[in-house]
Structure 1
Amino acid sequence: MEIEQKSHEDILHASNSNTVMESLRTPKMKRLIMLSLNILLLLIGGTGSPLILRVYFLHGGDRKWFSGFLQTAGFPFLLFPMLFSFLRRRRTSSGGLFLLTPPLFLYCAILGLITGIDDYLYSYGLSFLPVSTASLLISMQLGFTAIFAFFIVKQKFNSFTVNAVVLLTFGAVVLGVHANGDRPDGESKAKYYLGFVLTLAAAVIYAIVLPLVELLYKHAKQEVTYALVIEMQFVIGLFATVVCAIGMVVNKDFQAISREGKHYGLGEVEYYLVVFFTTIIAQFCLVGLVGTIKYSSALLSGVILAVCIPITEVLAVFFFHEKFDGEKGVALALSLWGTSSYFYGEYKEHKKSKVIAKESQLLPLSFVSNTDCNVDAGVAPCGSVDVSRVEGVRVSELWCGEIGPRVRPRD
């Protein structure tokens, strides 16, 4: 009799564990797929954007506000996924035309204004620097992102993350100390260092923007879906483009576009192709950034941008025949070392979370179902959810039901 009872309890326990795992598997897989997609977009945009923007400057392009304008002018392309999302919502509910609330719209508008200024600084700096130097300077953005993420969104660090930040920062310092040696032919020393300072300033400003986007997600007071993320990026891109458009009006860039195209080194048709693809590739980068932050963190988006640097370095040497001296080699090695350190630390954290998840499976389903947790207002109570604390350890991402909202324990 005891054997039958024990067998029945084992079967019930196995069924409970399977129910918990089935409820978690689908949202986790969807999350992983969306994160991978956005990382891919970020890799394409982060690698291709500085290359094609450099093509613009190398063959006769000289409009800084216009080149900054191109980095966000592709935002109208987001109307297609926004329209698809709206039509999908109309079939399932009576939702409005937009998901953005007025406070979110205002917050995104402010981020857009900051992004527009940052685009101008980056374009101005890149016009005086080789792609490889500019890219390695941007790698310093990771260090600043880590610092600002610590203060703005309370980002937690381990020894591997700190090591990555230090190595990437030191690599940029090594590059700056010996920067004069790769100054392009015919360019003054003053302009080269001006480009150096402006590119570094652009990295610092955008390092502030990334944690601010993550902070926006945390305090949105509504479910942050990917459709909402796209709308946010649309507003950010709109206002960033308006900032650069105002600069173009003041600088009379609109009148100069046709003249610049006629005298472009590669030809007039090629000029407009460079302009078009600059907007597309830059939009890949921006959408990938906000998406990566949504499904992970601002710090990971900074790391992915750092991963783009070795690819950009190699392609710049191949396409533009830029120098690759010893200082750049040291900076690149430090960049790769720092990036590897970060991902190894993430791998260790992932293994620890898997052990915690396995331990949580040993708990009875009744305990899991009755876990004291907070759920967003208007959402049904928790069903089969993962346990948020096992022996005092917090699990970072929890889900309610199969497609429910994120759940956090009540402290």
Structure 2
Amino acid sequence: MKNGRLILMCISLAIGTCGGPLLARLYYNNGGSRIWLTSFLATAGCPIILIPLSFLFLRRRLSNRNNDEANAEKTKIFLMKTPLFIASIVIGLLTGLVNYLYVYGLKLLPVSTSSLIIGAQLAFNAIFAYFMVKQKFTHFSINAVILLTIATGVLALHSDADRPANVSHREYVIGFIMTLVSAVLYAFLLPLVELTYKKARQEITFTLVLEMQMVMCVAASCFCVVGMLVNGDFKVIPREAREFKIGGAMFYYTLIVITGIIWQAAFLGHMGVVFCSSALASGVLISVLLPVTEVLAVVCFREKFQVEKGVSLLLSLWGFVSYFYGEFKSGKRILGSSQPLLETELPPLPVTDSVG
């Protein structure tokens, strides 16, 4: 059961991580310019989480028909207690800030460049995971982190050779910095989520993970809505929709809805992989998907692919191979859980070893 859920989370992560940046670039390339709106879309698809939550609630009600106190606790609409609720709000607000920084950089950078910069998150993820959740490392995982960090440095050396025509040198540098800062902050958020799971004063179940995701996304969306109000986005959106270069207003609003759903898939994948495995595993998977996103960006938007990007890509792939080979050689499953989390609504899950 756990392996199947982990596979589903990985697929969700892959769809969202690859599709989200491409849809955002499609928006920007065809007349879209609202950064706060794009940030909002990164978490605005959270209402779809109500679908699995409703299903799991009905499942609990049907499987707990007795009126004893234990079953009454399980049949509550929401299982989250106050400390976890507050922690989810704080993480959600930080997520809103990360989303804003990321899409700000994405507006000024090619998707392929932005994706490679995000590769830096793995190095910081490893550092934060080591200090926050006592993540164990092997020589191979350390080698992977070093290679991925160098890959990002090589990318920075090519300066603004791939700078879009309508972006100045100063804007390009700002976009690079914004994207890098967002990568660092997000690398901090993943171990923070894992630490929250570990420190929670209640049993962490998949239902609870979905509830946390809902609260985080609502908090992040509210953060972005405030930015939209201050920036006047709601007044500009109807005009932007009418003037959208492809498909007009109908395509514009359809793109917004689909973008929100795709980003929500990425968020679910991030949270799910941390739940089923670890923060480092989630960070590695994000990095593994970078070459895919980069190739898709070059194919879809005909972005430039300079020598420096090729070197950076090769170093990234080398880092990925190093990490996975190290896990294979150590005889451990690549995505093993550092501390198994129990699931009350579903059958018991097998215990697995820690990552690295």
Same fold (TM over 0.5): yes
1:338 corresponds to? 319
Shift of 1:222: 2.1
**Percent of matched pairs sharing the same residue:** 49
Q: Cα RMSD between the aligned structures?
A: 2.0
- Asked if 1:164 corresponds to 2:178, the answer is no
Change (3 A) 1:64 1:100: same
The answer to whether the 8 A contact 1:141-1:207 is kept is yes
SS of aligned partner of 1:180: coil
Q: How many equivalent pairs are there?
A: 337
1:293 corresponds to? 274
SS of aligned partner of 2:22: helix
User: What is the one-letter code of the residue matched to 2:29?
Assistant: L
The CA distance in 1 between the partners of 2:26 and 2:341, in whole Å, is 45
Deviations 1:251-282 (A, max 9, x none): 01011111110011112221112111110110
Change (3 A) 1:397 1:90: closer
1:14 corresponds to? none
User: What is the one-letter code of the residue matched to 1:278?
Assistant: T
2:255 corresponds to? 274
The answer to whether the 8 A contact 1:139-1:168 is kept is yes
The answer to whether the 8 A contact 1:399-1:406 is kept is no
The answer to whether the 8 A contact 1:73-1:241 is kept is yes
Change (3 A) 1:177 1:90: same
Shift of 1:407: 7.8
Match of 2:44 among 73, 78, 81: 73
The answer to whether the 8 A contact 1:143-1:166 is kept is yes
1:329 corresponds to? 310
1:15 corresponds to? none
Q: Structure 1 stretches (4+) deviating beyond 2 angstroms? A: 348-353, 395-400, 402-408
User: What is the one-letter code of the residue matched to 2:24?
Assistant: L
- Asked if 1:126 corresponds to 2:126, the answer is no
The CA distance in 1 between the partners of 2:255 and 2:121, in whole Å, is 26
Match of 1:139 among 102, 111, 119: 119
Match of 1:237 among 179, 202, 217: 217
- Asked if 1:313 corresponds to 2:294, the answer is yes
The answer to whether the 8 A contact 1:398-1:406 is kept is no
The CA distance in 2 between the partners of 1:31 and 1:86, in whole Å, is 20
SS of aligned partner of 1:105: helix
The CA distance in 2 between the partners of 1:352 and 1:284, in whole Å, is 24
Between 1 and 2, higher relative CO (CA 8 Å, sep ≥ 6) is seen in 2
SS of aligned partner of 2:83: helix
- Asked if 1:106 corresponds to 2:77, the answer is no
Shift of 1:406: 8.0
Deviations 1:179-236 (A, max 9, x none): 3111111310000000000000100010000000101111122221111111110000
Larger-gyration structure (1/2): 1
Change (3 A) 1:398 1:245: closer
User: What is the one-letter code of the residue matched to 2:15?
Assistant: I
Change (3 A) 1:283 1:195: same
The CA distance in 1 between the partners of 2:128 and 2:339, in whole Å, is 21
Deviations 1:293-326 (A, max 9, x none): 0011000101111111111111111110000010
1:18-33 → structure 2 map (5 Å cutoff)? 30-33=1-4
User: What is the one-letter code of the residue matched to 1:318?
Assistant: V
SS of aligned partner of 2:305: coil
